[in-house]
């Protein structure tokens, strides 16, 4: 089975790494040559870390790298694919354009999967002539470490395609969980309202940043507090997903907290911008509450 991964950013390079390590030939496609270079370096560095920990051998590292081809042209990269996994930027128009192109480039039997966090799979499938073969394959970050793959069945996804993707996920050592195509699927339907409520709790002055995260870590056994997790995900991403839930269900309970909106508007996006609920200007080794919340 030939795999093509589209988008070689945070998620794309992890997805490519896992398939290549499990003996699949993988073409990695990106529109940006520097993103492909960076992905190659990241995968190599992550494999070195696995070798150093003794979880893989030097031979596995070499065979993983040999299974990967980096291509900057979609027509070349996807022509022979049996499965394409799209992990390009979370923008609906970008994704619809990619799927329209894939539908004409790929073999009729090829399954087209998206790693989207929030865009409806049914909408993506509707721009192709094969909505029965379009499915969500939602990996978690960091992909080589996280076991879960949330598999999303669009309204027209066939049972056979869903079964194939469930079996394949197990084959690469992941644990699949199947969801129907509703806003936020399972993962973000539950996670984002919790994060939004944590922000609302801060906004209403019920607790400070440290108190909120401490309650959830020590009281609920979460490995990371919801505000720290929001910083890691990216506050812009959290806001976008809250908006998808709010618009998709038309229910005010999903409305994003005004504090979240303000933080994103002002450019406080979490780890990627250097500050969110915590300050990362010192490299993030020590958790320091951002000055606005002290």
The catalytic site residues sit at 117, 138, 150, 188
Least distance in Å: CB of 168 to ligand NAI?
A: 18
Q: Which is nearer to ligand NAI, 139 or 278 (CB)?
A: 139
The residue among 201 and 230 lying less far from ligand NAI, judged by its C-beta, is: 230
Measured CA to CA in angstroms, residue 278 lies from 115, 146, 251, 258, 285 at distances of 28, 24, 30, 18, 11
Whole-number minimum distance, CB 37 to ligand NAI, in Å? 11
* Distance, CA of 9 to CA of 38 (rounded, Å): 8
Cα within 13 Å of Cα(168), Cβ side: 23
We find the least distance from the C-beta atom of residue 258 to ligand NAI, in angstroms, to be 24
For residue 86, give every residue at least 6 positions away whose Cβ sits within 8 Å of its Cβ, in sequence order, or none. Answer: 6, 7, 95, 98, 99, 102, 112, 113, 114, 115, 116
Indicate the residue among 46 and 115 with the shorter CB distance to ligand NAI: 115
CB 196 within 8 A of CB 257: yes
Q: How many other CB atoms sit within 10 Å of the CB of residue 141?
A: 12
CB contact at 8 A, 209 and 278: yes
Torsion angles phi and psi, residue 71, rounded to 5? -135, 140
Which residues on neighbouring strands pair with residue 85, listed in sequence order? 5, 113
Binding site for ligand NAI (CB under 6 A): 6-12, 29-32, 35, 87-90, 94, 98, 115-117, 138, 141, 233
- Which residue's Cβ has the minimum distance to ligand NAI? 9
Comparing CB distances to ligand NAI, the nearer of 178 and 201 is 178
In the complex with ligand NAI, the residue whose CB is nearer, 138 or 201, is: 138
State the nearest-atom distance from the C-beta of 253 to ligand NAI, in Å. 23
What 3-state class would DSSP assign to 250?
coil
Query: Cβ 281 to ligand NAI, closest distance in Å?
Result: 21
């Amino acid at each position: 089975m030939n795999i093509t991964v589209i988008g070689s950013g945070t998620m794309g390079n992890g997805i490519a790494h896992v398939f290549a390590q499990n003996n699949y030939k993988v073409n990695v496609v990106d529109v940006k040559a520097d993103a492909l270079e960076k992905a190659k370096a990241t995968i190599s560095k992550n494999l070195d870390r696995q070798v150093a920990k003794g979880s893989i051998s030097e031979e596995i590292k070499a065979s993983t790298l040999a299974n990967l081809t980096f291509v900057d042209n979609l027509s070349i990269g996807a022509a022979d694919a049996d499965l394409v996994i799209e992990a390009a930027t979370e923008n609906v128009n970008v994704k619809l354009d990619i799927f329209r192109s894939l539908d004409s480039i790929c073999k009729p039997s090829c399954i087209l999967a998206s790693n989207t966090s929030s865009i409806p799979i049914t909408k993506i499938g509707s721009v192709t002539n094969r909505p029965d073969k379009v499915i969500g394959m939602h990996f978690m970050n960091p992909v080589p470490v996280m076991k879960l793959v949330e598999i999303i069945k669009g309204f027209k996804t066939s049972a056979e395609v869903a079964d194939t993707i469930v079996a394949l996920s197990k084959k690469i050592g992941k644990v699949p969980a199947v969801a129907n195509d509703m806003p936020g699927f399972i993962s973000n339907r539950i996670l984002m309202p919790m994060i939004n409520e944590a922000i609302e709790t801060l906004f209403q002055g019920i607790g400070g940043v440290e108190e909120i995260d401490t309650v959830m870590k020590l009281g609920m056994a979460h490995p990371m507090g919801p505000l720290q997790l929001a910083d890691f995900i990216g506050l812009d991403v959290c806001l976008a997903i809250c908006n998808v839930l709010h618009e998709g269900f038309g229910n005010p309970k999903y409305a994003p907290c005004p504090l979240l909106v303000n933080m994103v508007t002002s450019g406080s996006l979490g780890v990627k911008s250097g500050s969110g609920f915590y300050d990362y200007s010192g490299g993030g080794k020590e958790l320091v509450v951002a000055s606005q919340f002290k």
